Amino acid sequence: MYKAPRGTSDILPKEQAYWKHIEEKAASLCQLYGYQPLSTPIFEDSQLFARTVSGGTDLVDKEMYIFEDRSGQKLALRAEGTAPVCRAYLEHGFFNLPQPVKLYYVGPAFRYERPQAGRYRQHQQFGVEAIGSADPALDVEVIEMAQRFLLSLGLSSFSIQLNSIGCNLCQPKYIEVLKSHYSNYIAYLCPDCKVRMLKNPLRLLDCKKASCQKIAETAPKIPDYLCPECQAHFQSVQQYLGILGISFKLNHRLVRGLDYYTRTVFEVGPQKEGAQSVLVGGGRYDNLIEQLGGKATPAVGFAAGIERFILNLKRAKIYVPLPPKPAAFIAYLGEEAKIEAIKLAAELRQVGLAVVKAIDDKSLKGQLRQANSLEASHVIIIGEREVKTQSVVLRDMIENKQKIVPVTEIARVLNREQKTR
Ligand code: HAM
């Protein structure tokens, strides 16, 4: 028997309420801050990710789903949302609009990772991108949005970690200092860090191995090496966060897993848990649009993993609104009653009443069992006598009472019952 591919899962009907709730909260948050929706394709030219996310990150080296289409073009399943949004920004000439252009998206991302709780090969991201301004107030706006998003879902015990990783000017100088620190410990580095040393030294700070973490603890701190402009930017971000009363923790080892970041980086998650517990990750990416062939255009954004939000809502026993139950289940007994039931179901749906009609000529017991499993508050029963008298039996499944109602009255009665529930 076939199964969903490893690291993917079906979202069953009983789970859908979580998805709908979170996506509705995301949309209203974006409306509140003036971000407009944008949908990009599920696959893109593989170079879009390879160039921008950059070599030396796990995402490019090991995790992308790359395939050739029938014309031989190399494509990649969307690995993350930022590069596609920037591609669309350039393709549609959004640089001609008043800046910054503020966009958001909800959609799947694909990464060939080792699956575990909170880490999947297909996951759903809600992301925001504000493109066209270097104002630190915009960094603070997206951090504030991330915080408001969690709070709007009832998630309150989390922390915001903040760092600045500098710019083209100061970051290379810091990397030299960092490499020289690590060169004293080469023999003690894990095999991955030996590769990072050559390909992506900043990521050395992020290694989860205990032996490497010891070396990271004593490493020089990037905020001490920022150029005056990056330093001023970082100070303003902290100052504005303070003005808004948003608490954060400075973490000089926070570097993020993608390579396009400059200056501000941040993550939101529960304290002291593994990487797969990070709920929101983001930061500034002032060089990305230029890397894609546009003019130098600063930008900042974040993405949130919906599955991780659902895990946290369940852990915190936060319940989400359930979809409405049917107003009534229509049961029938006999062929003539079946025809009346078909007609009545169509009439009630026509006036906007959600009804489920029995199918397959089951016994009354079987039909009532189905009504119960649908949690219908009322059952309409039509038998031979009801056909003759142009009426129905209306059974209230909650109060366990029943009454005879003329067919012409049933829509009005159901409507009234719904309002009083
Ligand atoms: P990211 O940190 O790679 O950043 O992913 C964003 C969020 O997606 C993570 O914080 C996490 O909640 C979720 N996530 C990532 N990988 C997985 C996975 N394998 N399974 C489940 N959830 C996952 C980005 O993708 C950047 N584009 C964020 C950004 C937007 N930066 C600036 N703008």
pLDDT band at residue 419 using 50, 70 and 90 as cut-offs: confident
Nearest-angstrom CA–CA distance, 106 and 344: 40
Q: What is the pLDDT of residue 275?
A: 53
Q: What is the pLDDT of residue 276?
A: 64
Measured in Å, residue 235 CA sits from the centre of ligand 1 at: 26
Q: What is the mean pLDDT of residues 316-344?
A: 96
pLDDT at 51 > cutoff 90: no
Q: What is the mean pLDDT of residues 88-99?
A: 98
Measuring CA to CA, which residue among 301, 253, 310 is closest to residue 281?
Answer: 301
pLDDT at 27 > cutoff 90: yes
Q: What is the pLDDT of residue 401?
A: 95
Q: What is the pLDDT of residue 54?
A: 64
Nearest-angstrom CA–CA distance, 257 and 259: 7
Q: What is the mean pLDDT of residues 135-140?
A: 98
Q: What is the pLDDT of residue 250?
A: 97
CB count, 10 Å around CB of 259? 22
- Which atom of ligand 1 sits closest to the CA of residue 81? 27
The model's pLDDT over 266-310, given as tens digits with 9 standing for 90+, comes to 999 986 655 568 999 999 999 999 999 999 999 999 999 999 999
- Which atom of ligand 1 sits closest to the CA of residue 83? 27
Q: What is the DSSP letter of 326?
A: P
Considering the chain, what percentage of its residues have pLDDT values greater than 90? Answer: 90
The model's pLDDT over 357-376, given as tens digits with 9 standing for 90+, comes to 999 999 999 999 999 999 99
Amino acid at 189: L
Which tokens belong to 321? 């609104």
Peptide bond preceding 100 in cis form (omega within 30 of 0): yes
Measured in Å, residue 303 CA sits from the centre of ligand 1 at: 5
Measured in Å, residue 254 CA sits from the centre of ligand 1 at: 14
334 within 8 A of 362, measured Cβ to Cβ: no
327 within 8 A of 377, measured Cβ to Cβ: yes
Nearest-angstrom CA–CA distance, 57 and 50: 10
The model's pLDDT over 195-213, given as tens digits with 9 standing for 90+, comes to 999 888 999 998 989 999 9
Measured in Å, residue 314 CA sits from the centre of ligand 1 at: 20
pLDDT band at residue 150 using 50, 70 and 90 as cut-offs: very high
Which tokens belong to 352? 């906007």
Q: What is the mean pLDDT of the chain?
A: 94
Q: Is the CB of 269 under 6 A from ligand 1?
A: no
- Residue whose structure tokens are 């304290």: 271
Nearest-angstrom CA–CA distance, 16 and 366: 27
Q: Is the CB of 201 under 6 A from ligand 1?
A: no
Q: What is the pLDDT of residue 59?
A: 72
pLDDT band at residue 420 using 50, 70 and 90 as cut-offs: confident
Counting Cβ atoms within 10 Å, is residue 181 exposed (0-12), middle (13-18) or buried (19+)?
Answer: middle
The model's pLDDT over 336-362, given as tens digits with 9 standing for 90+, comes to 999 999 999 999 999 999 999 999 999
Q: What is the mean pLDDT of residues 216-235?
A: 96
Contacts 24+ apart (CB under 8 A), 14-19: 15/310, 16/323, 17/320, 17/321, 17/322, 17/323, 18/310, 18/313, 18/320, 19/124, 19/306, 19/310
pLDDT band at residue 60 using 50, 70 and 90 as cut-offs: low
Kindly report the protein residue whose alpha carbon is nearest to atom 23 of ligand 1: 305
Q: What is the mean pLDDT of residues 223-229?
A: 97
